[in-house]
Amino acid sequence: QERLDHEMKQCHRNGTQLALLFIDLDHFKEVNDTLGHDRGDQLLVEAARRIQQCLREVDTVARMGGDEFTVILCDLCDASDLQTILPKLLKALSASFQLGMDQVFVSASIGATVYPDDGQDIETLFKNADQALYVAKGAGRNRFSFFTQALQEAANFRAQLTHDLRAALVTQSFRVVYQPIVELATGSIHKAEALVRWLHPSRGLISPAAFIPVAEASGLIVDIGDWVFHQAAAQVKAWRSQLHPQFQISVNKSPVQFENPNPSHTPWSKHLAARGLPGNSIVVEITEGLLLSTSDGVVDQLLELHDDGIQVSLDDFGTGYSSLSYLQRFEIDFVKIDQSFVRNLVPHSTDLALCQAIIAMAHALKMKVIAEGVETQQQRDLLAASGCDYAQGYYYSRPVPSDEFEKLVGATQ
């Protein structure tokens, strides 16, 4: 910060600009977890060297801790110079790293802000660079993003949303809707996915895509997730009596919930037992990224779910980093084919071949397969002919409140 303060004063005297960059190495944690901290440290040293090679002698690079670097680019005549420097940095950091006998690929996300245009004090510049980095990472990584006024407004919106989410937990402004998961061989419905919706008092219905990332970043997803689970547990109890004795409801569980369990909350399996429900009345949906975690806490929780009879479903399969070893290690019960493979499903297509390969692999590992995003009769027929077990999507129904769901099931029986 002293260096930044010095350079800002220099720019002020000279009438020039400077840029502050926050650089975050993408997927560094996976390198640390799989190859060990020594290799991770080697990667950081080499990354710092590559960053320095892209800069001038007058520029400054510093490690901020973890896998983040801060760069000060001094005496810029024009902020447009960044359009040359930033792609150069991304290219340098996306080239392979040779760590002993291991060849590793990572990439970087970069957030950039300019003095004095974007801010005139250190705190503002740090906040701006952090917001720009957040956008770069959210856009798919291996990217850079500039701070803009729109980013400031988005940050203000996220802060307000966090405040409102806390209030919504108190006032219980959330709703749970259910999307049917249909057995392809029979057309029967004895599974559903529980999805949370938020009816905001002034903004109306807020999309989960807008509030779930905010809930995860703030840690509020832990309490929201528990609330959804309790609603689903009460609902599955009723539907096992009314609709099907083996009815199952799937509940999404975020990596944040696994990594930050609330010790004051009753474990899900104990809550089910207290309701007189078996573990397999609930399916926990997880993302592929969670399987990369080697945290003892996460591993123990996944194995506990299995021991308690709660089944596990791997969501959005095919879009992340899964390997067969992960699937076997955690004894996954269901894989859900991501809708990106289903969307363009036509005869003789690559997507159909991929779906068939996933189905064959899953069945060989004794797992059932659910296809997401099914919207047409043709998609449904191709999946059924390929041996897919279940389908879910707007072809059958959008997510609906419990009373509408019951009518839907009644109409199919």
Look at residue 411 in the predicted model and tell me its pLDDT.
85
Residue 17 structure tokens = 């600009």
Percent of the chain residues past pLDDT 90, beyond the cut: 59
Range 159-412 has CATH code 3.30.360.10: no
Instruction: Reply yes or no on whether the pLDDT at 338 is more than 80.
Output: yes
Between the CA of residue 355 and those of 285, 335, 343, what are the distances in Å?
Answer: 20, 11, 11
DSSP letter string, 151-190 = HHHHHHHHHHHHHHHHHHHHHT-EEEEEEEEEETTT--EE
d(CA 187, CA 345): 20
Task: Quote the CA–CA distance of 293 and 254 in Å, as a whole number.
Answer: 13
In tens, the pLDDT along 68-87 reads 999 999 988 777 778 788 88
List Cβ<8 Å contacts ≥24 apart for 198-206.
198/165, 198/168, 198/173, 198/174, 199/173, 199/174, 199/175, 200/164, 200/168, 200/173, 201/173, 206/161
* CB proximity list for 248: less than 8 A, separation 6 or greater: 190, 191, 192, 236, 280, 281, 282, 283, 311
Query: What residue spans define the domains of the chain?
Result: 2-147, 159-412
Whether the predicted pLDDT of 182 surpasses 80: yes
Are 358 and 337 within 8 A, CB to CB?
Answer: yes
Half-sphere CA count of 374, side-chain side, radius 13 A: 29
Q: In what order do the strands lie in the sheet containing 17-26?
A: 60-65, 68-76, 17-26, 107-115, 144-146
Q: Determine the residue type at 308.
A: D
Distance of CA 318 to the CA centre of its chain: 14
What pLDDT shows up at residue 249? 98
pLDDT digit string, tens, across residues 282-326? 999 998 777 766 567 788 888 889 899 999 999 988 766 555 667
Using alpha carbons, list the distances in angstroms from residue 48 to 52, 53, 61: 6, 9, 8
Q: Measured between alpha carbons, how far is 370 from 246 in angstroms, rounded to an integer? A: 17
Which pair of structure tokens corresponds to residue 47?
A: 């990354």
Measured at the CA of 130, the angle between CA 129 and CA 132, to 5 degrees, comes to 65
User: Measured between alpha carbons, how far is residue 149 from residues 7, 18, 19, 116, 168 in Å?
Assistant: 24, 18, 16, 14, 28
pLDDT at residue 322 in the model: 54
If you count them, how many residues does the chain have? 413
How many angstroms separate the CA atoms of 149 and 44, rounded? 32
Segment 103-125 mean pLDDT: 91
**Model pTM?**
0.72
Residue 16's SS3 state is: coil
Q: Are 342 and 393 in contact (CB under 8 A)?
A: yes
194-229 pLDDT, tens digit each: 999 999 999 999 889 889 988 988 899 999 999 999
Q: What CA–CA distance (Å, rounded) separates 186 from 240? A: 19
Q: Which residue has the higher pLDDT, 251 or 322?
A: 251
Residues contacting residue 374 through CB under 8 Å, at least 6 positions apart: 342, 380, 383, 391, 392, 393, 394, 395, 396
- Give DSSP secondary structure letters for 27-72: THHHHHHHH-HHHHHHHHHHHHHHHHHHS-TT-EEEEEETTEEEEE
Residue type, 255: P
**Has domain 2-147 been given CATH number 3.40.50.880?**
no
At residue 168, the pLDDT reads 95
Identify the CA nearest to 385 among candidates 339, 343, 336, 347. 347
User: Which CA distances in Å does 57 have to 15, 50, 51, 69?
Assistant: 20, 13, 12, 17
Q: What is the mean pLDDT of the chain?
A: 90
Q: Return d(Cα 135, Cα 147) in angstroms, integer.
A: 9
Q: What does the pLDDT average to over 397-404?
A: 97
User: Worst-scoring range by mean pLDDT, 135-144, 160-169, 180-189, 256-265?
Assistant: 256-265
Write the DSSP assignment of 283-306 as a string of letters: EEEE-HHHHT---HHHHHHHHHHH
**Which residue's structure tokens are 């919106």?**
157
**Highest mean pLDDT, choosing among 32-46, 157-171, 264-278, 367-381:** 367-381
What pLDDT, on a 0 to 100 scale, did the predictor assign at position 37? 87
- Choose the weakest-confidence range: 16-30, 148-162, 319-333: 319-333
CA–CA dist 323, 327 (Å, integer): 7
Encode pLDDT of 348-365 as tens digits.
999 999 999 999 999 999
Residue corresponding to tokens 């007189």? 276
